[in-house]
């Protein structure tokens, strides 16, 4: 999709999350997802409105916060057009819950990282 390429180790998955705004509110679909360490997430804007996605710092464990800082994935680039994407990898991510928020529209989603 869109010319992006990501290579994952055998057994790992790429999960897609649609991001769009409706009636001034951002929505994630799905708004809750379970992934394994090593999986990746691709956030794709489904509309032409601007979105700014970031992990909620105050909801993260110290190890999750350190992981996101070390990998430079705490906040995504501005997603300004339909089809814009942000891909993150959960390679070596500590298990636990990670919350993602659209800083523009306020919607949140939950990403549960667990060895399933």
Question: Which residue range forms the structural domain that includes residue 95?
Answer: 14-113
Instruction: Report strand pairing: 40-45 vs 14-22.
Output: parallel
Query: pLDDT tens for residues 32-78?
Result: 999 999 999 999 998 888 899 999 989 999 999 999 999 999 999 99
Residue 102 inside a domain? The answer is: yes
DSSP assignments along the chain, one per residue = -TT------TT--EEEEEEEEETTEEEEESSEEEE-TT-EEEEEE-SSS-B-EEE-GGGS-HHHHHHHHHHT-SBPPPB-STT-EEEEE-TTPPSEEEEEEETTT--EEEEEE---
Residue 6 inside a domain? The answer is: no
Residue 3 inside a domain? The answer is: no
Report whether pLDDT(3) > 60.
Answer: no
Residue 1 inside a domain? The answer is: no
The pTM assigned to this predicted structure is: 0.89
Q: How many domains does the chain have?
A: 1
């Amino acid at each position: 999709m869109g010319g992006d390429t990501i290579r994952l180790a055998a057994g790992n998955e790429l999960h897609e999350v649609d991001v769009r705004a409706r009636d001034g509110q951002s929505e994630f679909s799905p708004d809750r997802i379970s992934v394994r360490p090593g999986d990746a997430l691709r956030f794709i804007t489904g509309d032409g409105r601007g979105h700014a996605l970031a992990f909620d710092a105050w909801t993260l464990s110290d190890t999750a916060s350190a992981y996101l800082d070390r990998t430079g994935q705490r906040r995504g680039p501005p997603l300004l057009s339909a089809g814009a994407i942000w891909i993150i990898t959960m390679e070596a991510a500590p298990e636990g819950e990670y919350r993602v928020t659209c800083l523009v529209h306020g919607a949140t989603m939950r990403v549960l990282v667990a060895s399933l």
